[in-house]
Amino acid sequence: MHTIVKEYLKHHNQIEKEQFQKKEFIMDIPAKSFQTDESDMILLREYFLKNNSIYISKHPRFAPYPKHSHHFLELNYVYSGKSIQYINGKREVIQRGEILLLDRGSSHSLGEHGEEDILINIIFPNDRVDIDWLSSLNDKNSVLFNFLAQTIATRSRKEYLIFRCGQNEHVQMILDQMIDKYFSEPVFANEIISLYIPILFTELIGNCSYDFHEEQKDKTNNQVVIDTLKLIEKEYASLSLETAAQRLGYNKNYLSNIIKKKTNATFSELLIKQRMKQAKFLIESTTLSISNIVELIGLKNRSHFYKEFKATYGDLPTAFRNTKTGPQIS
């Protein structure tokens, strides 16, 4: 990140100077940028996303920030220090390098940020960058993230994700570049930042752990699905519906019905999808025979494997491998 941008982030702007002196919140946005609904302040898309451009700002320090919600998707990045927030009434501590992703309709207030607590707000145009859009990124084969993406996409469900990515240097580098481009204002800054967004989320989805939070009324059923999908992704080679139900402590029929209702796929379909994903990886990255791969992913019937692989990837496994690496032992 450019030195001038680093200095800007640490510098006390006018609002911060006033808050530091008065020890109280000073409104930092104009009246036309929000509306009030009962006790809640709602930030408006029309103000923050003019001309469909990405909006990035530094959160003002030295005073608590009142409860508010948004008509847009918002990302909070803790550049340094930490951020204490109260999201849908729940206290969350977000540490340096971590990211909070708030869905439309979620409300949050923020505790007082000290000198070293620098929080960056990044707001995306809904029609180009949405949870639906996120699910179409490169990690399409992650059934867990696809489920989370589909769940959080519903308007006004008040969900949020916290990516625990403080140790991921790639995420920090991408965000630093986005912030640098925004505040240094080079030619085509918005276009450049837009190109970074899919790279950022691909890294987050593929290489960062995350906490998913949702409204209590649907939490139990969704947690059942999340736990099941995690189990499928880790133990696909030996897993069955019966063993999954036993491991998770649920009735087999209950688990089957919830999975179908929440993912629009049966347990068997999700399991075979994960097995085919792993088979594809082994075919592309190893010289293992197809017979060995069939055994490693937990299938006994080679003909069934061929049928499922072709249905998933449009070609038989040996032909698929040959197009990538040339003829191999099958």
Q: Which of 107, 104, 124, 119 is nearest to 49 (CA)?
A: 124
* Res. 125 pLDDT band, cuts 50 70 90: low
The mean predicted confidence, pLDDT, of the chain is 84
CA distances for 272 relative to 10, 276, 310, angstroms: 51, 6, 12
Lowest mean pLDDT among 118-127, 158-167, 190-199: 118-127
- What b/e readout covers 16-45, taking b as 16+ CB neighbours within 10 angstroms? bebbeeeeebbebbeeeebeeeeeebebeb
Higher pLDDT, 170 or 124: 170
Which residues in 149-255 belong to E strands, given as ranges?
Answer: 160-164, 209-213
Asked if residue 77 has pLDDT above 80, the reply is yes
Specify the 3-state DSSP secondary structure of 3. helix
For residue 14, how many other CB atoms are within 10 A of its CB?
10
Yes or no: say if 299 and 317 are a contact pair by the CB < 8 Å rule: no
Angle at which helices 302-313 and 317-325 pack, to 10 degrees?
Answer: 60
Q: Return the SS3 of 151.
A: helix
Q: Residue 329 pLDDT > 60, yes or no?
A: no
What global pTM score does this model have? 0.63
Strand order in the sheet with 99-102: 55-58, 118-124, 73-80, 99-102, 160-164, 209-213
pLDDT for 303 equals 92
109: pLDDT strictly greater than 70:
yes
Nearest to 149 by CA among 210, 193, 95: 210
Q: Which CATH number fits domain 3-214: 3.30.465.10, 3.40.50.300, 2.170.150.70, 2.60.120.280?
A: 2.60.120.280
* Long-range Cβ pairs for the range 183-187 (8 Å, 24+): 183/5, 183/8, 183/56, 184/2, 184/4, 184/5
Report the pLDDT averaged over residues 262-290. Answer: 91
Would you say the C-alpha torsion 281, 284, 286, 291 has a positive or negative sign?
Answer: positive
| Phi, psi dihedrals of residue 259, rounded to the nearest 5° | -60, -45
Where are the chain's structural domains? 3-214, 218-268
State the Cα torsion 85-194-57-101 to the nearest 10°.
Answer: 0
280 falls in which pLDDT band (50, 70, 90)?
very high
